Amino acid sequence: QVQLVESGGGLVQPGGSLRLSCAASGSIFSIAAMGWFRQAPGKQRELVAIITSGGTATYADSMKGRFTVSRDNAKNTVNLQMNSLKPEDTAVYYCYCVTVKPYWGQGTQVTVSS
């Protein structure tokens, strides 16, 4: 089993920034990809960004240029730097990783509001 623990969510004004972090622990042998998804009220969970062990990152179109995902393979951590936040970025953000199967964190709330 793999455990994922997120931190860094909170309330921020439009145009502001937040940094999310996630640490993986447990039966970690080879994490192929790590990243972030989010789910807003009444909506389906959607991809935010994914990064492979080799450092290749993929972003959802609406996050390109504003969000940056990074990863430390030695520490099994993944971070998400979110800039120029908009009210529509309000959601619960979930850390994600995949080894032989996918794992999810418990989620951290991000609220963008004035």
Tens of pLDDT, residue by residue over 96-113, are 999 888 999 999 999 999
Please give the Cα distance from 33 to 102 (Å, whole number). 9
In degrees, to the nearest 5, what angle opens at C-alpha 52 toward C-alphas 51 and 55?
A: 80
In degrees, to the nearest 5, what angle opens at C-alpha 102 toward C-alphas 32 and 64?
A: 65
Tens of pLDDT, residue by residue over 33-88, are 999 999 999 999 999 999 998 999 999 999 999 999 999 988 999 999 999 999 99
Place of tokens 């793999």: 2
* pLDDT number for residue 28: 73
Maximum separation of any 2 CA atoms in the chain, in Å: 43
Confidence of residue 31 (pLDDT cuts 50, 70, 90): confident
- Which of 29, 17, 33 shows the shortest CA–CA distance to 71? 33
Q: Does pLDDT of 29 surpass 90?
A: no
List of residues 6+ apart from 13 with CB closer than 8 A: 112, 113, 114
* pLDDT number for residue 20: 98
* pLDDT number for residue 1: 84
State the pairing for strand pair 10-12/108-112: parallel
| Tokens at 23, concatenated | 């640490």
* pLDDT number for residue 89: 97
